[in-house]
Amino acid sequence: MAARRNRTKTRKRRGASHPNERDVATSIPTAFLERLAADVGPDRAKAMQQAIEVRTNRRALRLNPSRLDRSAAETHLGVPLTPVPFNPLAYWLPQDAPPGVGRSPLHAGGGFYMQDAAATAVAPFVDPQPGEWVIDLAAAPGGKASELAARMDGRGVLVANDVSAQRAQALHENLERLGARNAVITQAAPAELARRWGGRFHAVLLDAPCSGEGMFGKSDIARQEWSEDAVATCAVRQDDLLDAAFALLAPGGRLIYATCTLNRDENEGAIERLLKRQPDATPVNLERTSGMEPGVLASRQDVRNASGRIWPDASFGEGHFVACLKRTGAQAGAFTADRRETPPMLASTEGMPSPLTLLSEVLEPHVVDALTPNLRIQGRSVWALPAPELPLDGLHVLAPGWRLADLTHGRWSPAHALAMGVMVHEVRVSVAITDATAAARFLRGEELDVGDAEGAEPRDSAWVWVTYQDVPLGWARQRGHRLRNLRPKRLRVS
């Protein structure tokens, strides 16, 4: 049963990109409706059933604030955007928006993330501050983690983790696309991370695997796989995950718990059980936005006050739950324990050319100077580590930080992750594509002529940062009038 729940979560989080892409034919489980009626009353349960059955799955997106604002998104996507009340960066697409919004060059360049409206409610409650240490324990595919990274503005440490290899890879790709600079990406059991890093983090987000009842409006699979046993199994697993999440908090740190399911056992009940196990856990009142209701199913008033519900009959979005607690004690501090002396970068480069030469060709001097203290060579790549003192030995680490360069055929080349994370004032040479057709050609891996881009002029040899409407697309190597495309083959679109 646990394995089936994991598969449900993978489908749940990726979701359908268009209302007609998944035919919901399976009836809503009768036992689910009976449980819902017991929790919220028969009239409200009937209203929710009707809302689920007629769900239009209205699509939403969340802007990446360092890349795109609402005005530019509306202009270049050609559709009006309606604000979502749960998050100032989130907007609904119109019902008649074309299904290809997610194939826009603005999406490929990390300008926005397609996300269910209700799911956008969670990250603002985490409220990560630049310089903090934050961990997202079940982060794939990266919608919430990428927003946390954006809110931290590249400063501090974001650990983005998922236990599944497949989901962790999707997480890695999305954080790269959205330009995360301070992310450590791991694939590990939360209990193992708690054992290693207990008491170190200012904030922990646990968007827990769940029975996915909020997905009933668009997922036939979620309906088919639901059972009362599945709810009980999920609740037991969530207790274990919450214990690991709480153990990671420093005194004074905050824990945000979220699910996309509706029952009490996995939501308010999970918080109440944690409070019984953890005497230094304290509920924190939520400042709810329009469309979000208090937790109504808890026996404790403080749990109701610390919880927020987005119900399927009250919003355009999946059902969602969020709650906030803190660990009592002194204010949380950064991770300073177990700090180890790390050898200088060049001490690990025997037999290799220095990557500083390449970075100096690509980046402005002040950027290289700021990155140099935390540069490390691991394998055949250069990384800027947000926390060199964070012990990663023995963990499956997909990214120990921001990937800057790769060694190929005896020479360093700028990494695609570097292209996605830098800003225009940080690079030495850049060109801007203004034509959507030329941008699509670049995304396919084609070479361009300098005449296809603004700011381009013939050069003998240069690394060039290529953008479209202020979002990055990747690197090119310019020789004369030609821009040789260096966008990774794995990302090229047909």
Dihedral sign for Cα atoms in the order 241, 247, 248, 254: positive
Q: What is the DSSP letter of 289?
A: P
Tokens of 208: 């827990």
Cα dihedral angle (355, 357, 358, 359), rounded to 10 degrees? 80
Residue found under tokens 């034509």: 435
What b/e sequence results for 343-367 when a residue is b if at least 16 CB atoms lie within 10 Å of its CB, and e otherwise?
Answer: eebeeeeeeeeebbebbeebbeeeb
DSSP H helical segments within 68-164, as ranges?
A: 70-77, 105-108, 123-126, 143-152
Tokens of 227: 């059972």
- Say which of 210, 234, 260, 324 is annotated catalytic: 260
Q: Which long-range contacts (CB under 8 A, 24 or more apart) does 456-463 make?
A: 456/431, 456/483, 459/429, 462/361, 462/428, 462/429, 463/358, 463/361, 463/362, 463/414, 463/428, 463/429
| Class of residue 96 by CB neighbours under 10 A (exposed 0-12, middle 13-18, buried 19+) | exposed
- Which pairing describes strands 293-294 and 281-283: parallel, antiparallel, or unpaired? unpaired
260 carries an active-site annotation: yes
End-to-end CA gap in the chain: 38
Residues taking part in catalysis: 260
